[in-house]
Amino acid sequence: MDYIHLRDMQFYGYHGVLPEETVLGQRFRVTISLALNTRKAGETDDLQYTVNYVEVYELCKSIMEGEPFQLIEALAEAIASAILEKYEGQVFGCKVELVKPDPPIPGHYKEVAVEIVRGHYSE
């Protein structure tokens, strides 16, 4: 199994349950890992035999900057589902990590994050 990783993509969105999250918005970071077979792409140096990570970025961006979700779990699920649907037969599975670096909750912590794995993915 081979992997393509898009690490720490940054977006601004209005996702969340708290009123200030949906009005003021906040930063989000997303890391996506795709499980696929890249052998033919590596042997031929031809983009048609792999996943174009520019397209994956744009797909993720459209979801992250689109309609608001209350839960980051639902947001991560939407991203994973869209990837697996668009690249059915090519991507076996994916992992999505979605991070809220500055959620409006009191306390001392680095960040809040959710990580989901869908399809056939194992590292």
Give the CATH number for residue 33.
3.30.1130.10
Is 100 known to be catalytic?
A: yes
Structurally, how many domains does the chain consist of?
1
The crossing angle, in degrees rounded to 10, of helices 72-86 and 53-64 is 140
pTM given for the model: 0.95
Count of CB atoms situated within 10 Å of the CB of 76: 23
CA distances from 86 to 83, 107, 120 (A): 5, 40, 16
Could you list the pLDDT tens digit for every one of the 123 residues in the chain?
999 999 999 999 999 999 999 999 999 999 999 999 999 999 999 999 999 999 999 999 999 999 999 999 999 999 999 999 999 999 999 999 999 998 888 888 889 999 999 999 887
Residue 85 φ/ψ, nearest 5 degrees: -70, -45
Residue with tokens 């977006």: 11
Of 40, 61, 86, 100, the active-site residue reads 100
Contact 80, 118 (CB under 8 A): yes
Domain that holds residue 29: 2-119
